[in-house]
A and B are shown apart, each in its own frame.
Chain A
Amino acid sequence: MQATGFDAWAVSLVVFLPLLGALVMLAVPSKEEETHKLIALVSSLGALAAGIYILVQFDYDNTSELQFLVDKSWIDVINSRFIVGVDGLSLPMLILSLVVVPLCIVYSWQHIPEPGNPKAFLMLILVLATGMNGTFVSHDLILFFVFFEIVLLPMYFMIGVWGGPERKYASLKFFLFTLFGSALMILSFLALFFVAEDPSGTALNTFDMRALSQWAGAGLSLTTAVVIFGGMFMGFGIKVPMFPFHTWLPDAHTQAPTVGSVILAAVLLKLGTYGFIRIALPILPRAAEQWAPWIGLLAVIGIIYGALGCLAQTDMKRLIAFSSVAHMGYVMLGISTLTTLGINAAVFGMVAHGLITGILFFVAGSVKERYHTLEIARLGGLLKAAPRMGWILGFATMASLGLPGLAGFWGEFPAILAAYQPAPALSEELFRVYMVIAALGTVLAAGYLLWLYQRTAFGEPTEEFADLEIADVNQYEWLAWTPFLLAILAFGVYPNLIFSLTDDTVGNIVSAFGG
Chain B
Amino acid sequence: MSSIKIELHENQVKELVEVCRSFNNEAGELINVLHKAQGIFGYLPAEVQEIVARELKVSVAKVYGVVTFYSFFTMVPKGQHPISICMGTACYVRGAEKVLDEFKRKLKVPVGETTPDGKFSLNCLRCVGACGLAPVVMVGDKTYGRVSPDGVKEILAEYA
The answer to whether A and B belong to the same complex is no
Residues of A within 8 A of B (CB): none
